[in-house]
C-alpha cells in the first residue's frame, strides 16, 4: 500500500479492463503451470487496488483438480525505489500459510510467480470489512469488530513470535533485502527531521528531554526482542470481520517488528490511515486489554503495567511523530483524508486528535515533558488551522 505514513492505504482505484484481463490470463498461466493441466478462470470481479496494483475475485471455471470455486488474485506493478510491496506480500503469505490452520488468520497462498509479479490467494468470501462496521449504524457490531480485531492481532503476534529468522530467510530467497521493514527508514527520518519541521511550520520548539524520549523510543523499536509478524498497516479496510473472527488482508509492508508498536495502533486507532475517526471513551483501553490477553502467554512481562505502559507510550509517540512528519507539510493544501475524501474528517483534525491523545496519555503516566510538548503542538495546530481541528468525531456507528 501507500507509504504516506508507512504502508497505509492509498486511493483505491478500479483496474482498467485490459489490466484486469491481463491479470486473469497471468493467473491462468501460473495455475496451469503449477498443476500441470489447464485451469480456466472466469467472471473477474474488480476488488480495487492500491495505486496501480490489480486485485480481483475470479471463478474457477475449469480445472481437473480440486480447487476452490473462487480465488483472489493480486498483480503488482514494478517496484518503486527501494521498496517492493510484491516481495513483502509473497514472503508474508509464505510465512503465514505455513502456520497450522487454527493459527492462520490470513488467506492461504495458492500460487505465486515472481516474473509475473502475481499472487493467487484463498478467497475468504464477501464478509464485511471492519471499515463497514465502523461506518455503519450498529454500535454493538462495531464494538465487537474492534475487539475481534484486537484479539486477532494478539493471536497473530503470539503465533509468529520469534519468526525473524524464517522471515529473513524467505526474503533472501525472494531476492529482496533481508530484514526490510518499510517503516524503519521512516522512523529515523522523522526522528531527525520533525523538530525542525515543527519549528518552521508551527513555531513550536522541541525541548531536549522530548528529543531524548523520542530517541529512546526509536532505540526500543529497533532493538526490541518482543518481535512477531506485523501486517504493517492498521487500516480498517484491510481486516475482514468473518464468522470465525477477524482475518487480515494486504501485506505489502508485512514484516517482523516490535509487537508493542502494533499494539499502539489500538491506542491511536488506525494511525497509518488519514481516514480515521475517533472512538468512544474506554474503547481503545478495552482493545489494548484484549490484545494483552492474547500475548501474555508469550511475553508475560507485558502483563506488568510498569513494563508495558511506558513502552506503549514510546510506541504511541513514534506513530504520532511519523504521522506529523508525513502529514504536516500538506495540511494547508486541503488534501483528501484518504480513499474516502467525502466522509472522512479533515487531516488537521485527525492529526490534532493524535497529539491530544498523546498529551493525555503522557500526563497520566507522569511523563510531563512529553505532555507539555504535545500541548504546545495542539495549541499551535488549533491556532493555525482553526478551533474545529480539535474536535474529532467518533465513527458513525457510535453516534
Q: Which CATH class is domain 12-122?
A: alpha beta
Burial class (CB in 10 A: 0-12, 13-18, 19+), 340: middle
Band (355; pLDDT cuts 50, 70, 90): very high
User: How many CB atoms sit inside 10 A of residue 289's CB?
Assistant: 12
> Using an 8 Å Cβ cutoff, are 64 and 83 in contact?
no
How high is the pLDDT of residue 231?
Answer: 92
Which pLDDT value is given to residue 5?
35
Quote the pLDDT of residue 177.
67
- Residue 78 pLDDT > 70: yes
In 3D space, the residue among 98, 88, 110 whose CA is nearest the CA of residue 30 turns out to be 110
Residue 7's pLDDT band (boundaries 50, 70, 90)? Answer: very low
Is the model's pLDDT at 262 over the cut of 60?
Answer: yes
Cβ-contact 245, 124 below 8 angstroms: no
pTM of the predicted structure, to 2 decimals: 0.91
Pairing of strands 70-75, 49-50: unpaired
pLDDT of residue 394: 95
pLDDT of residue 270: 92
Average pLDDT of the chain is 89
pLDDT tens figures, 80-120: 656 788 999 999 999 999 999 888 899 999 999 999 999 99
What are the backbone angles phi and psi of residue 144, rounded to the nearest 5°? -60, -40
Cell (9 digits) for 26: 497471468
Q: What is the pLDDT of residue 181?
A: 79
For the chain, give every domain's residue range. Answer: 12-122, 130-398
- Rounded to whole angstroms, how far apart are CA atoms 345 and 129? 20
pLDDT at 39 over 70: yes
Q: Indicate if the pLDDT at residue 14 is higher than 60.
A: no
Return the pLDDT at 273.
86
pLDDT band at 8 (very low <50, low <70, confident <90, very high): very low
Please report the DSSP string for 225-275 in residue order.
Answer: S-EEEE-S---GGGEEEETTEEEE---TT-EEEEHHHHHHHHHTTSTT-SS
User: What is the pLDDT, as a whole number, of residue 335?
Assistant: 54
Percentage of the chain lying above the pLDDT 70 cut: 89
Look-up of cell digits 529473513:
168
Q: Which residue has the cell 508469550?
A: 298
Q: Which ranges in the chain belong to alpha helices (H)?
A: 17-35, 85-97, 130-134, 139-159, 164-174, 184-202, 208-223, 259-267, 283-295, 305-327, 347-364, 368-385
pLDDT of residue 15: 54
pLDDT value at 71 more than 90: yes
Residue 178 pLDDT more than 80? no
Q: What digits encode the pLDDT tens for the residues 198-251?
A: 999 999 999 999 999 999 999 999 899 999 999 988 789 999 999 889 999 989
Tell me the pLDDT tens digit for each residue of 305-351.
999 999 999 999 999 999 999 999 988 665 554 445 456 888 899 99
| 117-173: pLDDT as tens digits | 999 999 999 899 999 999 999 999 999 999 999 999 999 999 999 999 999 999 999
Residue 4 has pLDDT above 50, yes or no: no
State how far the Cα of 105 lies from the Cα of 158, in Å rounded to an integer. 12
Q: Give CATH for domain 130-398.
A: 3.90.1200
Q: Is 124 helix (H, G, I), strand (E, B) or coil?
A: coil
pLDDT of residue 341: 46
pLDDT tens-digit profile of 278-302?
Answer: 999 999 999 999 999 999 999 999 9
Amino acid at each position: 500500500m501507500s507509504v504516506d505514513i508507512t504502508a497505509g492505504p492509498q486511493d483505491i482505484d478500479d483496474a482498467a479492463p485490459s489490466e484486469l484481463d491481463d491479470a486473469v490470463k497471468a493467473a491462468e498461466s501460473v495455475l496451469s503451470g503449477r498443476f500441470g493441466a489447464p485451469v480456466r478462470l472466469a467472471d473477474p470481479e474488480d476488488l480495487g487496488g492500491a495505486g496501480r496494483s490489480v486485485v480481483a475475485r475470479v471463478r474457477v471455471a475449469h480445472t481437473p483438480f480440486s480447487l476452490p470455486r473462487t480465488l483472489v488474485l493480486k498483480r503488482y506493478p514494478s517496484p518503486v525505489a527501494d521498496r517492493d510491496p510484491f516481495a513483502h506480500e509473497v514472503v508474508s503469505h509464505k510465512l503465514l500459510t505455513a502456520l497450522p490452520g487454527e493459527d492462520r488468520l490470513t488467506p492461504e497462498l495458492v500460487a505465486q510467480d515472481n516474473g509475473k509479479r502475481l499472487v493467487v490467494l484463498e478467497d475468504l468470501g464477501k464478509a464485511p470489512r471492519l471499515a463497514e462496521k465502523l461506518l455503519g449504524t450498529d454500535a454493538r457490531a462495531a464494538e465487537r469488530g474492534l475487539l475481534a480485531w484486537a484479539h486477532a492481532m494478539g493471536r497473530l503476534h503470539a503465533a509468529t513470535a520469534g519468526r525473524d529468522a524464517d522471515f529473513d530467510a524467505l526474503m533472501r530467497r525472494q531476492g529482496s533485502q533481508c530484514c526490510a521493514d518499510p517503516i524503519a527508514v521512516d522512523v529515523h527520518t522523522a526522528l531527525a527531521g520533525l523538530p525542525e519541521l515543527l519549528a518552521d511550520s508551527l513555531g513550536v520548539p522541541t525541548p531536549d528531554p522530548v528529543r531524548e524520549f523520542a530517541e529512546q523510543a526509536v532505540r526500543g523499536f529497533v532493538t526490541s526482542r518482543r518481535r512477531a509478524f506485523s501486517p504493517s498497516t492498521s487500516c480498517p479496510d484491510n481486516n475482514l470481520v468473518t464468522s470465525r473472527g477477524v482475518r487480515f488482508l494486504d501485506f505489502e509492508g508485512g514484516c517482523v517488528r516490535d509487537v508493542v508498536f502494533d499494539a499502539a495502533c489500538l491506542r491511536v486507532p488506525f494511525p497509518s490511515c488519514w481516514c480515521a475517526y475517533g472512538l468512544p471513551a474506554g474503547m481503545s483501553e478495552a482493545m489494548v486489554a484484549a490484545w494483552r490477553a492474547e500475548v501474555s502467554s508469550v511475553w508475560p512481562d507485558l502483563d506488568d503495567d510498569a513494563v508495558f505502559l511506558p513502552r506503549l507510550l514510546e510506541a504511541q509517540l513514534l506513530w504520532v511523530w511519523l504521522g506529523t512528519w508525513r502529514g504536516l507539510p500538506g495540511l494547508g493544501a486541503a488534501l483528501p483524508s484518504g480513499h474516502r475524501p467525502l466522509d472522512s474528517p479533515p487531516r488537521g483534525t485527525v492529526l490534532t486528535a493524535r497529539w491530544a491523545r498523546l498529551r493525555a496519555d503522557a500526563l497520566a503516566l507522569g511523563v510531563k515533558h512529553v505532555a507539555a510538548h504535545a500541548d504546545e503542538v495542539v495549541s499551535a495546530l488549533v491556532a493555525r488551522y482553526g478551533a474545529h481541528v480539535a474536535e474529532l468525531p467518533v465513527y458513525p456507528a457510535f453516534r
